[in-house]
Amino acid sequence: MQKKLAESTALNSAGLPAGQKIFKIPGGQFAGRLVALMQTSPTEIKLSHADSPYATWSSPLSIVNDAADDAFDAEMDNDGTLYIVYADQTARNLAAKKLTFADGVWTAGSKTLIYDGGSSYTPSLGIEVSGKLWVTWSRYSAPNRYIHVKSSSDGGTTWGTGSGDSGTQLTTGDLMAYSKVLVTASHIRAVAIYNNHSIVMRSLPISGGSWSEEEVIATTSQAFGSDFDAAASDDGRIAVVYNDPYFKYREYDGANWGAVVPMAEIVGVSPQVLFRGGIPVVIYLENWNGGQKIQMYTDRRSGQFTTPVPLDSRAKTFDRVLLYNQAAASFVDGTVAAASAATGDMSHPASSCLLKNQGDQLYLGMQRQFRYLQILLSSLGSGGTLVFSYWDGSNWRAFTPSTGSVTLDSDPTRIVLWDDYVSIPADWQKKPINGHYRFWVKVEVDSPFATGPVGTQATSISEITRTIFRR
């Protein structure tokens, strides 16, 4: 978490995995500027931007105030102008807004209705090099949902033949339906999950013509959900990631679909697939103990996907965990115990507790600075007080975690040390502790526990629920 931008009360503040929310201006005076879009409440969408090195972001600016509490999508053209599509709050009509970029400022235009028939959900937006816009969305007509598609050749002012036009229906009806529209040099591709058991693709030549028949990407005896994504490479390949029942990848070479590639024997949460220099990259969240989700990363640089590894080396299991007992004047290495799910194995043998008496210490160390701590306990603590500190190069400097004081009397104990990486103290330095040179957070007992807590696990894996990456 490089920078915390806002807090949100929206159901899907970052949207669905297949959506786009982060963009970089490609050229001109403000080339390289990043802009992030987010839904901060059930009705409001805001914008924030930053220039390199992206440590300072603008205050979030309200650009939509009548959105439904649902996923929205966006695109950016070569001039930095943004286009947003969303369902409005009152009738769930499908709406669009154009945010013109000039002199370093985005100015929101008036709302345009793409479809005024209501019952619209989860739109996906794509843009051709020419600037022509394409949107797919799920239209509900009891008892089913259908994927529809429309386009605009005038910058989002007019869609199809007008707002009464429901566009082209791409799928038959089912209880749920999600889609992702992709634009390649030769085709518009619509990837859709529907029928509860099918992922399909339909294509339309950019040169003109009709939508193709469905190409089946995957089927399952179980139900697919919204945890899928699709991406197009510069040379026209299509990659799709989904769960069946575990995480899988499949790629289209422009003519045929290749073999299904198993990615991991887990359910991939909020998966993202993208191409970088023609190489497919897959990022996803893996469920961890205690409600945590760890960001994992893999790519196919050498003909096959690498073994997935944590994407963020600051949000994972700790590199080193040490327990110090004051009375025994001894350290115990708890690194393995802190990473495992074995119940109650994080304790010092002198006290049979994680921490107990004044002066007892817990050291949490990483090769890089970190900002989050979650501790699972098999026995809750009571009555004690703790002091958190970091090494500033000369002294242990005490601080209060962003989430406040910690008493280790709840399971899990979730501690935001600092709101984001930018907020980490600039003077935090590495220090050798018991022969291990790391960035340490020291947790020390200030007043003794009546009942000492016993630990099961301690990690720096946070409570991420959704991820959206710049494509």
* pLDDT higher than 70, residue 85: yes
Nearest to 441 by CA among 383, 402, 384: 402
The pLDDT tens digits of the residues spanning 27-62 come to 999 999 999 999 999 999 999 999 999 989 999 999
| Phi–psi pair at 360, nearest 5 degrees | -65, 145
Asked if 183 contacts 124 with a C-beta cutoff of 8 angstroms, the reply is no
Q: Is pLDDT above 70 for 1?
A: no
SS3 category, 268: strand
What is the Cα–Cα distance from 181 to 188, expressed in whole angstroms? 7
Q: Output the pLDDT for position 464.
A: 85
For 189-238, write each residue's pLDDT tens digit.
999 999 878 999 999 999 999 999 999 999 998 889 899 999 999 999 99
CA separation for the pair 384, 79 (Å, rounded): 58
Residue range 236-269, pLDDT digits in tens: 999 999 999 999 999 999 999 999 999 999 999 9
Q: 293-302 long-range contacts, Cβ below 8 Å, gap at least 24?
A: 293/269, 293/461, 293/463, 293/464, 293/465, 294/461, 295/464, 295/467, 296/264, 298/263
Structure tokens at 121: 């959900």
pLDDT at residue 13 is higher than 90: no
- The fold for domain 22-226 equals Neuraminidase (2.120.10)
pLDDT greater than 80 at residue 443:
yes
Sheet of strand 454-459, all strands in order from the earlier edge strand to the far edge? 413-416, 372-379, 454-459
pLDDT of residue 93: 98
Tens of pLDDT, residues 323-382: 999 999 999 999 999 999 899 999 999 999 999 999 999 999 999 999 999 999 999 999
Residue 341's φ and ψ, nearest 5 degrees, are -100, 5
Q: How many residues does the chain have?
A: 471
- Structure confidence at residue 197 (pLDDT): 87
| Contact indicator for 123, 86 with CB cutoff of 8 Å | yes
Range(s) for CATH 2.60.120 in the chain?
320-459
What was the pLDDT predicted at 288? 86
Separation CA 454–CA 308 (nearest Å): 31
- Could you give the 3-state DSSP secondary structure of residue 67? strand
Average pLDDT, the chain: 95
Percent of the chain past pLDDT 70, that is, above it, reads 100
Fold of 320-459: Jelly Rolls (2.60.120)
Count Cβ atoms below 10 Å from residue 90 Cβ, excluding itself.
9
Q: What is the mean pLDDT of residues 160-184?
A: 96
Residue with the bigger pLDDT between 195 and 134: it is 134
What are the b/e assignments for 38-77, b being 16+ CB within 10 Å?
A: bbbbebbbbbbbbbeeeeebeebeebbeebbebbbbbbbb
pLDDT, tens digit, for every residue of 384-418? 999 999 999 999 999 999 999 999 999 999 999 99
Distance between the two ends of the chain, CA-based, in angstroms? 18
Q: Where in the chain is the domain with CATH 2.120.10.10?
A: 22-226
pLDDT score for 289:
81
Select from 36, 33, 45 the least CA-distant residue to 8: 45
Q: Find, among 68, 54, 178, 78, the residue nearest to 122 by Cα.
A: 178
- Look up residue 348 and give its amino acid: H
Give per-residue pLDDT as tens, 276-332. 999 999 999 999 887 889 999 999 999 999 999 999 999 999 999 999 999 999 999
C-alpha 203: how far from chain center: 28
